[in-house]
């Protein structure tokens, strides 16, 4: 807009602020054709200014209906899942990028638009309502990092979806894990997660408990009503799942969800493969894995209960409390790695390996519906029977609808068994060595840096390496410097609120350059030393094991930029070019 923001509660009205550029506003009311009461959102504050404007000074904003930029959306789903797992220390409740993408496919067909039902105020790829967004803002420190209008930003919707998925995963696991379960926490699948997403935590968990107890024929509407919910409103928001013929019982609704997510998870993988293939992990090594060879040997032995060989499986992972009722799929998996003759494999066995859920974070995560999963990859499934928490085994083969695993405790023996593909919650492969540590400047691809600035790039790499930061940390720092200053040491950006100087654009007005002599900020080595000092205050940065994680932490905690979601994507792309062929 171009004009004044007014305080209409005064008599006469008083001008609060003159605006000579675009300011995003949300209409609150329109009492007449002259005035519009609005919430005005400014980039220097997450809290809106409540005011009124002259109708003639504003124009309708059409940004909300622009098509979703698919590559950008997919990349930020990767970042958001990594960062949510990192920030929540999600050892047992980690979330999956593939599910986030599939969820957006199911909810909006990956469209950045309003609900087709005018009675529902949902919007964007995750169809978030104002109430959904308010709930997100009220968690943790979110009110200081996001504004009300950010609900219309499709990338920031991913942050909210990642948070709610983590919360749902934890709630389901805690509620459905049986007391004294010897195989660990309940591992939810996409059907469980979406049921809770759709119905809310309390109702969704109650439905899952009923199903766990064999009462899946109970009507969903009865459970919603018993909890004081509004089934009519839910049907308006989720008509494909609740307002169609044959969508009455828990079992029936779950069957609809299953069909939708079978297609959506396959689509998620195909979208990544088409638009961001560089985000598909590179599998380390070729041919059969040594631990898979051990599993095949155990299969040939014909191990089945009550063979004492099963006790050896538990001993290999230092588990001494096994009973005849203890599920042994996790122990078998750990035994195969321990007997593989590969030190990296032996050391990769997680603590608590007897529990299927503890294998969710093993190795390098692969897409659950990938078409090129290597034999021997570790696959974690959601519970296969009442009273269990999950299952783990080695990948053998798969098609669109099913996956075959070689594992222990499959029909009480070591055997190959086939499961529904939508029961897969995690696929892991052994990480490529050297991803998160060591590394030297000579391995980084500096061909994307102009020749006359490669000495500056080398200086940044060497400075971070000298302080003990690994390869991906060096690259993350360099990618940020490229974005901030194009590696021009004397670059300076001065505005009303900013006076940013040097390689990392340290702000002398309230930022990391405040109180620092201008000459020091213009000195590339001193500018870099200042950002290293800040990086040392963020232990998670040094511990990052993926380039996405390292760049996101640099943007959010070290450089602290504006438009962080977009900047993370841009800088991650640069970092991957610098790492071309290395990870």
439-470 confidence digits (pLDDT tens): 334 478 999 999 999 999 999 999 999 999 98
Map residue 231 onto helix, strand or coil.
helix
- Asked whether 113 and 283 are in contact (CB, 8 A), the reply is no
Query: Residue 412: which pLDDT band, with cuts at 50, 70 and 90?
Result: very high
State percent of the chain over pLDDT 90.
57
pLDDT at 348 over 80: yes
Query: Which of 12-21, 175-184, 326-335 reaches the highest mean pLDDT?
Result: 326-335
Structure-token pair, residue 436: 């998160």
The DSSP annotation for 12-57 comes to S-EEEEEE-S--EEEEEE--SSSEEEEEEE-TT-SSPEEEEEEGGG
Tell which wins on pLDDT, 289 or 197: 197
pLDDT at 411 over 80: yes
Structure-token pair, residue 437: 């540590």
Structure-token pair, residue 187: 């591992």
- Asked whether 366 and 430 are in contact (CB, 8 A), the reply is no
> Which residues on neighbouring strands pair with residue 455, listed in sequence order?
none
pTM: 0.78
Mean pLDDT of 503-523: 94
- Asked whether 6 and 19 are in contact (CB, 8 A), the reply is no
Residue with tokens 């909300």: 64
Stretch among 84-93, 411-420, 432-441 having the lowest mean pLDDT = 432-441
> Shortest CA distance to 157 belongs to which of 194, 110, 93?
110
For position 84, what pLDDT does the model report? 87
For position 161, what pLDDT does the model report? 97
Please give the domain boundaries of the chain with CATH numbers for all domains: 3-61 (no CATH), 70-279 (1.10.530.10), 290-429 (3.90.1720), 441-578 (1.10.530)
For position 485, what pLDDT does the model report? 96
> Shortest CA distance to 370 belongs to which of 404, 400, 333?
400
> Which residues on neighbouring strands pair with residue 39, listed in sequence order?
26, 50
Mean pLDDT of 270-296: 79
For position 92, what pLDDT does the model report? 63
For position 436, what pLDDT does the model report? 36
Mean pLDDT of 162-191: 85
Structure-token pair, residue 57: 């000074």
Residue with tokens 């894990």: 177
Mean model confidence pLDDT for the chain? 87
For position 552, what pLDDT does the model report? 93
For position 286, what pLDDT does the model report? 46
Q: What separation in angstroms does the CA of 292 have from each of 185, 297, 334, 378, 394?
A: 25, 9, 11, 10, 7
């Amino acid at each position: 807009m171009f004009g004044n923001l007014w305080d209409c509660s005064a008599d006469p009205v008083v001008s609060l602020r003159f605006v000579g550029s675009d300011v995003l506003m949300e209409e609150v009311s329109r009492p007449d054709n002259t005035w519009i009461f609005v919430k005005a959102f400014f980039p220097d504050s997450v809290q809106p200014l409540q005011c009124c404007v002259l109708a003639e000074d504003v124009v309708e904003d059409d940004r909300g209906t622009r098509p979703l930029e698919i590559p950008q959306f997919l990349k930020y789903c990767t970042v958001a899942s990594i960062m949510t797992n990192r920030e929540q220390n999600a050892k047992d409740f980690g979330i999956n990028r593939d599910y986030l993408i599939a969820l957006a496919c199911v909810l909006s067909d990956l469209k950045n638009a309003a609900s087709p039902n005018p009675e529902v105020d949902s919007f964007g790829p995750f169809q978030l309502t104002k109430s959904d967004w308010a709930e997100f803002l009220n968690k943790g420190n979110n009110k200081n990092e996001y504004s009300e209008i950010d609900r219309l930003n499709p990338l920031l919707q991913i942050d909210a979806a990642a948070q709610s998925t983590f919360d749902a995963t934890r709630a389901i696991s805690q509620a459905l894990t049986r007391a004294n379960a010897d195989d660990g926490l309940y591992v939810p699948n996409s059907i469980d997660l979406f049921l809770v997403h759709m119905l809310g935590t309390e109702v969704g968990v109650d439905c899952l408990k009923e199903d766990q107890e064999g009462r899946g024929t109970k009507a969903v509407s009865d459970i919603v009503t018993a909890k004081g919910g509004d089934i009519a409103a839910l049907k308006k928001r989720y008509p494909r799942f609740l307002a169609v013929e044959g969508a009455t019982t828990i079992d029936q609704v779950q069957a609809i969800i299953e069909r939708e997510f079978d297609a959506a998870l396959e689509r998620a993988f195909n979208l990544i493969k088409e638009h961001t293939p560089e985000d598909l992990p590179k599998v380390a090594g070729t041919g059969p894995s040594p631990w898979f060879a051990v599993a095949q040997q155990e299969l040939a032995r014909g191990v089945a209960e009550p063979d004492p060989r099963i006790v050896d499986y538990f001993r290999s992972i230092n588990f001494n409390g096994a009973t005849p009722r203890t599920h042994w799929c996790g122990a078998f998996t750990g035994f195969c790695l321990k007997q593989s003759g590969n030190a990296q494999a032996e050391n990769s066995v997680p603590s608590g390996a007897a529990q299927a859920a503890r294998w969710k974070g093993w190795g390098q995560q692969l897409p659950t519906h990938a078409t090129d999963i290597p034999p021997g990859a570790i696959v974690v499934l959601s519970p296969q029977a009442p009273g269990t928490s999950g299952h783990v085994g080695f990948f053998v083969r798969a098609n669109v609808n099913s996956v075959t695993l070689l594992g222990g405790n499959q029909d009480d023996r070591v055997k190959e068994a086939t499961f529904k593909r939508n029961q897969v919650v995690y696929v892991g492969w052994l990480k490529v060595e050297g991803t998160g540590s060591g590394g030297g400047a000579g391995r980084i691809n500096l061909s994307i840096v102009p020749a006359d600035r490669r000495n500056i790039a080398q200086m940044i790499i060497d400075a971070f390496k000298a302080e003990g930061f690994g390869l991906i940390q060096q690259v993350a720092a360099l990618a940020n410097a490229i974005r901030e200053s194009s590696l021009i040491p004397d670059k300076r950006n001065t505005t009303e609120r900013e006076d940013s100087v040097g390689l990392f654009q340290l702000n002398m007005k309230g930022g990391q350059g405040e109180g620092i002599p201008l000459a020091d900020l213009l000195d590339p080595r001193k500018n870099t030393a200042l950002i290293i000092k800040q990086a040392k205050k963020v232990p998670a940065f040094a511990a990052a094991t993926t380039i996405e994680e390292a760049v996101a932490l640099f943007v959010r905690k070290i450089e602290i930029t504006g438009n962080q979601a977009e900047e993370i994507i841009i800088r991650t792309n640069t970092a991957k070019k610098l790492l071309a062929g290395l990870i």
